[in-house]
């Protein structure tokens, strides 16, 4: 369970797979006829070289004996490579969007591997406690309006706890009934979280309607939640807010009783709706 579950394959192995498949895709872009514009070719070659350096570091790390040494080494190698890859993705975007998408996708996957590499084992039976300050809940409610804005929220692992921190607005295009994260803003948020030693711990969006009844997740929301927990952390807590100060905290980690949520501070009335938490903020 939980973000601390060590994944198989190891984070180092999955980072190597990410790098190798990005390299193969770049090579096939270079082999295409007609050739891409010269500037794209140069940027692709630079990306191949940077990914080659990262692959060599990761293969080296993968040969280490202890999983903890591997984790530390892989995280360090990925952190060293990320700024260069992100810069290249931005530079190539004006010349060749598919290459930019490919590099951005690889960077997002590497960020996930980096977070996994640094996870510490949690003792069997131990549960994560997600600690949320009530001031942040007020902040999320204001920031997620008007309907239907989307936020991703950073969390920092501290012993058995995850301390909830800053939110990043990532609203993309979509109708009121269905909003999606903007890929660029999401990537920037993930890089910021990674640089500051955090992971994506919450996902929050707003709904039209009022009261607890307005906060039920739609089928699109539960689908999005499944995608997030596959790509990011399995103890992700999802939140839906409505205008009159009701917030529902939901998601598989809560529904399976894998995490505890602790609301710290004043001004939030906490009740339960099944396994979900229903919060009401003073208006």
Binding positions for Zn ion, rule: CB under 5 A: 218, 221
Smallest distance, Zn ion to C-beta of residue 218, A: 5
CA–CA dist 282, 83 (Å, integer): 42
CA–CA dist 49, 23 (Å, integer): 9
Cα torsion through 175, 181, 182, 183, rounded to 10: -140
Query: Which single residue brings its beta carbon nearest to Zn ion?
Result: 221
Smallest distance, Zn ion to C-beta of residue 233, A: 20
Q: Which is nearer to Zn ion, 114 or 250 (CB)?
A: 250
Residues linked to residue 185 through DSSP beta bridges, in sequence order: none
Q: Which is nearer to Zn ion, 85 or 181 (CB)?
A: 181
Q: Which is nearer to Zn ion, 79 or 149 (CB)?
A: 149
CA–CA dist 101, 99 (Å, integer): 5
Smallest distance, Zn ion to C-beta of residue 222, A: 9
CA–CA dist 100, 89 (Å, integer): 5
3-state secondary structure of 145: coil
Closest by CA to 82, choosing from 228, 198, 192, is: 192
Ranges of beta strands (E only) in 103-241 are: 128-133, 150-158, 161-169, 171-175, 178-181, 199-206, 237-241
Smallest distance, Zn ion to C-beta of residue 221, A: 4
Q: Which is nearer to Zn ion, 118 or 221 (CB)?
A: 221
Q: Which is nearer to Zn ion, 85 or 279 (CB)?
A: 279
Smallest distance, Zn ion to C-beta of residue 141, A: 15
């Amino acid at each position: 369970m939980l973000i601390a579950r060590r994944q198989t394959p190891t984070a180092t192995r999955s980072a190597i797979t990410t790098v190798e498949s990005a390299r193969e895709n770049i090579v096939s872009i270079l082999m295409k006829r007609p050739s891409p514009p010269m500037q794209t070719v140069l940027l692709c070659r630079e990306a191949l070289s940077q990914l080659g350096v990262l692959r060599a570091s990761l293969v080296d790390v993968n040969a280490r004996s202890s999983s903890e040494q591997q984790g530390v080494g892989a995280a360090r190698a990925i952190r060293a490579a990320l700024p260069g890859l992100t810069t290249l993705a931005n530079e190539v975007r004006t010349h060749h969007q598919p290459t930019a998408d490919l590099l951005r996708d690889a960077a997002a996957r590497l960020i996930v591997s980096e977070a996994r590499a640094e996870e510490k084992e949690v003792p069997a039976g131990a549960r994560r406690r997600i600690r949320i300050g009530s001031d942040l809940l007020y902040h999320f409610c204001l920031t997620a309006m008007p309907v239907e804005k989307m936020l991703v929220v950073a969390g920092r692992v501290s012993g058995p706890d995850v301390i909830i921190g800053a939110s990043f607005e990532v609203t993309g295009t979509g109708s009121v009934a269905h909003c999606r994260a903007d890929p660029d803003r999401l990537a920037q948020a993930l890089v910021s979280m990674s640089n500051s030693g955090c992971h994506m711990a919450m996902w929050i969006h707003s709904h039209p309607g009022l009261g607890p009844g307005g906060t039920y997740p739609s089928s699109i929301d539960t689908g999005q939640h499944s995608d997030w927990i596959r790509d990011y952390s399995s103890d992700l807590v999802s939140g839906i807010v409505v205008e009159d100060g009701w917030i529902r905290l939901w998601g598989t980690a809560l529904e399976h009783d894998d995490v505890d949520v602790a609301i710290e501070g004043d001004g939030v009335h906490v009740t339960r709706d099944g396994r979900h938490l229903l919060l009401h903020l003073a208006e």
